[in-house]
Amino acid sequence: MDTATGGEPVEMDTTTRGDPWHTPSIDFSAITEKTVLIEPSLITRCQKRLCYGNSSQGEFPLAANPSIVLHASCRFFRQPANFSPDFDLSISELAALDMCQRRAIFKPMTQSERELLKERCGGSWKLVLRFLRAGEKCFRREKCQAIAGPGHSVVVTKSGAVYTFGSNSSGQLGHGTTEEEWRPRLVRSLQGIRIIQATAGAGRTMLISDTGRVYAFGKDSFGDTEFGIEGSRSATTPRLVESLEGIFAVQAAIGNFFTAILSREGRVYTFSWGADAALGHQTEPQDQRPHLLKGDLENVPVVQIAAGYCYLLALTCQPSGMSVYSVGCGLGGKLGHGSRTDEKYPRKIEHFQQLKLQPVIVAAGAWHAAVVGKDGRVCTWGWGRYGCLGHGNEECESVPKVVESLQVVKAVHVTTGDYTTFVVADNGDVYSFGCGESSSLGHLGTATEGQVHRHANLLRPELVVSLKQRGERVVQISLTNSIFWNAHTFALTEAGKLYAFGAGDKGQLGTELLAYQSERGNPELVDINLD
């Protein structure tokens, strides 16, 4: 009960409303304005608390939109908060902490782990929230996803179940056999384990559970997955990677000659390919131990990793903004530093500052790389063979360069393969360019052009009409990233449908081909339930 000015008691029971979050409107015209003198130093201090780093006040939603703060305040007043009162935190900091606690990746963390993450992110819960949201944007954590591996495929459903199909010579499908599968088949040995992320290499598959554990099957090596190692073994069912005990993993990336793991705290660990300290540490090819990536990234939180042919890219989230670091082989300029020299330790790609572009998604192809900027621009660099950079030629670019023909498109996703690049726009349209081998670009051509256009290389991005004709909004593209396998491509739609095209000679498309076919140029729906 409450008493209105000069009136009878008024009932304040919010449950009488249909919307439990609804609050009565306030007549602001009836509020008497009073002049309040505030010390200038307090104004400056408050303004600084609204933002982070050198960014403007409107950069961060909790500071720019008071309704978010008010919404969080209502939650605190109408139900118990999930933390003890902290008089040192501003209301926006409390709101950020509340939003962090709603993330599945944040919930199981102990208080000390949370404080360490806060310190690592820059000492603010708003920065921690920014870090978590950036990771969610980079890859489909907690959502269904499809992985087009070298000769085999992996699909993770919304519920965390895993289906595999395609080549199985090393047991990389995880079914306890080495027989090929032409239709999606559930990996039953994972029953009771919820998988949130998957990656695939040649003859190898890795999965990450919602508890941060890593499971691997196929070739029993973290290193030379392309050629195999003499005497190496194979695992035909998922096995827990025990050497990662104590590391809560959120992403895995399989490159050529090495494997990388990203932890919940934004640290990067690598296996193998340590000859000549190529990744900052000295190891043997069969080394099963993870090594923390040394150098500048030790104290910088990483939100996404991408592995290519002998190199690694890392997308970081710092108070000053998002950045990309690269390490490994610099052949073709794919490290983005303006040269073709190797880097034994991670080095920041400085050219994005000149382009005034803040990267939010990074992709590493075999020989080239790409990013999507916060403003929707796409940059590519590295070896430009077959036009995979989209600049209208086959020249190499040793620093990131904006794809001019995509300037009218606001990109939200990019993925790269062996001389191939796909871009997804915010309206669900898909563009592809580069090598057209195996019909993996999705361009069918006309009846008179037939096979000629379907395998044509594209020097500039072209709309994938065959996907647009499906009338579906595409949210993710995955394509094979291997120089030794014919490529295939998956297109995942907002409605939860999966389309496949490209090479299918091993069953990796999830549908059987006719006797004389080895590929499919037209996207076809894969019979699988992604819920």
The whole-number pLDDT of residue 183 equals 96
Average pLDDT over residues 340-361: 95
Which pLDDT tens digit goes with each residue over 65-112?
Answer: 444 554 555 555 665 555 555 556 778 888 899 899 999 899 999 999
Q: Are 368 and 419 in contact (CB under 8 A)?
A: yes
Q: Could you tell me whether strands 195-201 and 204-209 are parallel, antiparallel, or unpaired per DSSP bridges?
A: antiparallel
The whole-number pLDDT of residue 517 equals 85
* Whether the predicted pLDDT of 478 surpasses 60: yes
Which pLDDT tens digit goes with each residue over 21-64?
Answer: 344 444 433 444 444 454 555 444 444 444 344 444 444 444 44
Which pLDDT tens digit goes with each residue over 144-182?
Answer: 999 999 999 999 999 999 999 999 999 999 999 999 999
pTM of the model as a whole? 0.81
The whole-number pLDDT of residue 99 equals 92
d(CA 110, CA 379): 39
Average pLDDT over residues 211-216: 95
Provide the percentage of residues in the chain whose pLDDT is more than 90: 62
Q: Are 63 and 51 in contact (CB under 8 A)?
A: yes
Which pLDDT tens digit goes with each residue over 375-400?
Answer: 999 999 999 999 999 999 999 999 99
* Whether the predicted pLDDT of 228 surpasses 70: no
Nearest to 249 by CA among 228, 271, 233: 271
The whole-number pLDDT of residue 84 equals 57
* Whether the predicted pLDDT of 454 surpasses 80: no
d(CA 183, CA 181): 6
Give the confidence band of 239 by pLDDT, cuts at 50, 70, 90: very high
The whole-number pLDDT of residue 31 equals 40
The whole-number pLDDT of residue 502 equals 93
Q: What is the mean pLDDT of the chain?
A: 82
Which residues lie below 8 Å from residue 238, measured CB to CB, with a gap of 6+?
174, 187, 189, 190, 207, 215, 216, 217
Kindly state the DSSP code that residue 339 receives in the 8-state scheme: S
The whole-number pLDDT of residue 33 equals 43
Which ranges of 423-472 would DSSP assign to H, the alpha helix? 451-454, 465-468
Which residues lie below 8 Å from residue 427, measured CB to CB, with a gap of 6+?
473
The three-state secondary structure class of 433 is: strand
Which pLDDT tens digit goes with each residue over 183-194?
Answer: 999 999 999 999
d(CA 271, CA 312): 12
The whole-number pLDDT of residue 178 equals 95
